[in-house]
Structure 1
Amino acid sequence: MIDAGSGPAPSYSADDIRVLEELERRVRWLSTWTIHNANHLRDNPDGVKVGGHQSSCASINTILTALYFHVMNEHDRIAVKPHGSPVMHAIQYLLGNQSREKLEAFRGFGGAQSYPSRTKDNDTVDFSTGSVGLGAAVTNFAALTQDYLRMKGITPQDHDPGRMIAIVGDAELDEGNVYECLMDTWKHDIRNCWWVIDYNRQSLDGVVNEHLFRVIGRMFRSVGWNVITVKYGRLQMDAFKKPGGRLLKKFINECPNDVYSALAFQGGPAWRRQILEDTRADEPDIGELHDLLNSYSDDELHAVMSNLGGHSMEAVLHAFDQVKDDRPTCFIFYTIKGYGLPLMGHKDNHAGLMTPEQMDAFRKAQNVREGHEWDKFEGIKVPEAELASQMAKAPYAKRKTYRLADQRVPIPEALTQSRQERTSTQEAFGRILNEIARAGGMLADRIVTTSPDVTVSTNLGPWVNQRGLFGRYEKEDTFRERKVPSAQKWTRSPKGQHIELGIAENDLFLNLAALGLSESLFGGRLLPIGTLYDPFISRGLDALNYACYMGARFMLVATPSGVTLAPEGGAHQSISTPLIGMGQPGLLGYEPSFADELAEIMRYGFNYMQDEDGGAIYLRLSTRPIDQPKRELDDETKRQITLGGYWLKKPDPDASLAIVYTGAVAPQAISAHEALADRFPGAGLLAVTSAARLYNDWQRVERARLKGTDGGEMAHIEDLLEPLAEKARFCTVIDGHPASLAWMGSVRGHSVAPLGVDNFGQTGTPRDLYDHFAIDAKSIEAAALRVPKH
Structure 2
Amino acid sequence: MQAKLAENVRYDNAWDGENEHTRALLEIEDKVRWLATWTIHHANHLRESRDGLKVGGHQASCASITTIMTALYMHELRAQDRVAVKPHASPVLHAIQYLLGNQTKEKLAGFRAFGGAQSYPSRTKDGSMIDFSTGSVGLGAAVTNFAALTQDYLRHKDIISSEEDPGRMIALVGDAELDEGNIYEALLDTWKHDIRNVWWIIDYNRQSLDGPVNEDLFRIIGRFFRAVGWNVITVKYGKLQRAAFAKPGGSSLRRWINSCPNDIYSALTFQGAAAWRKKIREDQPDNAALLELIENYGDDDLQKLMTNLGGHCMETLIEAFASVPDDKPTTFVCYTVKGYGLPLQGHKDNHAGLMNSQQFAEFQKSCDVPEGDEWSHFAGLKGDLEEIKQIIEDASLVSDGAGHKHARKVVLPEELPFTETDKASTQETFGRILNDLAKAGGDLADRIVTTSPDVTVSTNLGGWVNHQGLFGRERKDDAFRANKVPSMQKWDRHPKGQHVELGIAENNLFLNLAALGLAGSLFGERLLPIGTLYDPFISRGLDALNYACYQDARFMLVATPSGITLAPEGGAHQSISTPLIGMGQPGLTSFEPAFADEVPVIMGWSFAHMQDEDEGGSVYLRLSTRQLDQPNRTLDDKTKDDIVRGGYWLVPPASGTSKIIVFSGAIAPEALKAFDDLKAKIPDIGLLSVTSTDRLYNEWQDLERARLIGSDGGKTAHIEDLLKPLASDARIVTVIDGHPAALAWVGGVRGHAVAPLGINSFGQCGDLIDLFDHYRISDHWISKAAERFDRKILD
Question: Which of 25, 29, 50 is matched with 2:30 structurally?
Answer: 25
Residue 398 (structure 1) shift: 5.5
In structure 2, the partner of 1:5 is 13
Residue 405 (structure 1) shift: 1.5
Aligned to 1:632, the other structure's residue is in SS state coil
In structure 1, the partner of 2:388 is 387
Question: Which of 253, 260, 263 is matched with 1:255 structurally?
Answer: 260
Residue 3 (structure 1) shift: 4.4
Query: Which amino acid is 2:386 matched to?
Result: A
Q: 1:725 to 1:395 in 2, by over 3 A?
A: closer
Query: Which amino acid is 2:767 matched to?
Result: T
In structure 2, the partner of 1:95 is 100
Q: Distance in 1 between matches of 2:452 and 2:44?
A: 45
Residues 294-693 of structure 1: pairs in structure 2 closer than 5 A: 294-394=295-395, 397=398, 399-400=400-401, 402-612=403-613, 613-693=615-695
Deviation sequence 1:283-329 (CA, Å, 0-9, x none): xxx22222211211011000000000000111111110101321100
Residues 21-100 of structure 1: pairs in structure 2 closer than 5 A: 21-100=26-105
Query: Which amino acid is 1:339 matched to?
Result: Y
Q: 1:398 to 1:695 in 2, by over 3 A?
A: closer
Residue 648 (structure 1) shift: 0.3
Residue 14 (structure 1) shift: 1.3
Deviation sequence 1:691-730 (CA, Å, 0-9, x none): 0000111011111111111111000000000011111111
Query: Which amino acid is 1:706 matched to?
Result: L
Query: Which amino acid is 2:738 matched to?
Result: G
Query: Which amino acid is 2:675 matched to?
Result: H
Query: Which amino acid is 1:385 matched to?
Result: E
In structure 1, the partner of 2:208 is 203
Q: Distance in 2 between matches of 1:280 and 1:421?
A: 90
In structure 2, the partner of 1:747 is 749
8 Å CA contact 1:588, 1:692 repeated in 2: yes
In structure 1, the partner of 2:172 is 167
In structure 2, the partner of 1:264 is 269
Question: Which of 769, 772, 791 is matched with 1:770 structurally?
Answer: 772
In structure 2, the partner of 1:223 is 228
Residues 117-128 of structure 1: pairs in structure 2 closer than 5 A: 117-128=122-133
Q: Distance in 1 between matches of 2:170 and 2:723?
A: 52
Q: Distance in 2 between matches of 1:115 and 1:573?
A: 36
Deviation sequence 1:490-543 (CA, Å, 0-9, x none): 210000000000000000000000000000000110000000000000000000
Deviation sequence 1:340-388 (CA, Å, 0-9, x none): 0000000000010000000000000110101111111110012322211
In structure 1, the partner of 2:160 is 155
Q: 1:232 to 1:13 in 2, by over 3 A?
A: closer
Q: Distance in 2 between matches of 1:630 and 1:413?
A: 22
Aligned to 1:394, the other structure's residue is in SS state helix
Residue 396 (structure 1) shift: 6.2
Query: Which amino acid is 2:98 matched to?
Result: Y
8 Å CA contact 2:24, 2:384 repeated in 1: no
Q: Distance in 2 between matches of 1:383 and 1:60?
A: 24
Q: Distance in 2 between matches of 1:387 and 1:102?
A: 24
- TM-score, normalised to structure 1, is 0.98
In structure 1, the partner of 2:715 is 713
Residue 156 (structure 1) shift: 2.8
Residue 416 (structure 1) shift: 1.6
Residue 574 (structure 1) shift: 0.3
Q: 1:398 to 1:120 in 2, by over 3 A?
A: closer
Q: Distance in 2 between matches of 1:712 and 1:388?
A: 55
Q: Distance in 2 between matches of 1:575 and 1:259?
A: 50
Residues 1:703 and 2:709 aligned together = no
Q: Distance in 2 between matches of 1:394 and 1:560?
A: 50
Aligned to 2:211, the other structure's residue is in SS state coil
Query: Which amino acid is 2:204 matched to?
Result: Y
Residue 679 (structure 1) shift: 1.1
8 Å CA contact 1:72, 1:395 repeated in 2: no
Q: Distance in 2 between matches of 1:356 and 1:536?
A: 49
Q: Distance in 2 between matches of 1:393 and 1:752?
A: 65
Query: Which amino acid is 1:633 matched to?
Result: L
In structure 1, the partner of 2:728 is 726
Q: 1:484 to 1:395 in 2, by over 3 A?
A: farther
Residue 280 (structure 1) shift: 4.8
8 Å CA contact 2:657, 2:684 repeated in 1: yes
Query: Which amino acid is 2:432 matched to?
Result: R
Residue 6 (structure 1) shift: 5.9
- TM-score, normalised to structure 2, is 0.97
Q: Distance in 2 between matches of 1:640 and 1:539?
A: 32
Aligned to 1:60, the other structure's residue is in SS state helix
After TM superposition, the structure 1 stretch with the greater mean CA deviation from structure 2, 492-501 or 386-395, is 386-395
Query: Which amino acid is 1:5 matched to?
Result: N
Identity rate of aligned residues, in percent? 65
8 Å CA contact 1:468, 1:497 repeated in 2: yes
Q: How many residues align?
A: 783
Residue 561 (structure 1) shift: 0.4
Query: Which amino acid is 1:456 matched to?
Result: V
Q: Distance in 2 between matches of 1:3 and 1:563?
A: 57
Aligned to 2:530, the other structure's residue is in SS state strand
What stretches of structure 1 of length at least 5 have no aligned partner? none
8 Å CA contact 1:54, 1:353 repeated in 2: yes
Query: Which amino acid is 2:198 matched to?
Result: C
Query: Which amino acid is 2:740 matched to?
Result: P
Query: Which amino acid is 2:437 matched to?
Result: I
Residue 2 (structure 1) shift: 4.0
Q: Distance in 1 between matches of 2:128 and 2:432?
A: 39
Aligned to 2:373, the other structure's residue is in SS state coil
| RMSD between aligned residues | 1.2
Residue 159 (structure 1) shift: 2.3
Q: Distance in 2 between matches of 1:195 and 1:259?
A: 27
Q: Distance in 2 between matches of 1:755 and 1:621?
A: 19
Q: Distance in 2 between matches of 1:459 and 1:498?
A: 13
Residue 430 (structure 1) shift: 0.7
8 Å CA contact 1:69, 1:396 repeated in 2: no
Deviation sequence 1:184-213 (CA, Å, 0-9, x none): 000000000000001111000011111210
Q: 1:3 to 1:726 in 2, by over 3 A?
A: closer
8 Å CA contact 1:35, 1:51 repeated in 2: yes
Residue 682 (structure 1) shift: 2.0
Question: Which of 238, 245, 248 is matched with 2:250 structurally?
Answer: 245
Query: Which amino acid is 1:642 matched to?
Result: V
Residue 401 (structure 1) shift: 5.1
Q: Distance in 1 between matches of 2:162 and 2:574?
A: 46
8 Å CA contact 1:2, 1:319 repeated in 2: no
Query: Which amino acid is 1:675 matched to?
Result: D
Residue 596 (structure 1) shift: 0.4
In structure 1, the partner of 2:237 is 232
Q: 1:663 to 1:615 in 2, by over 3 A?
A: same
Q: 1:353 to 1:748 in 2, by over 3 A?
A: same
8 Å CA contact 1:138, 1:511 repeated in 2: yes
Residue 13 (structure 1) shift: 6.4
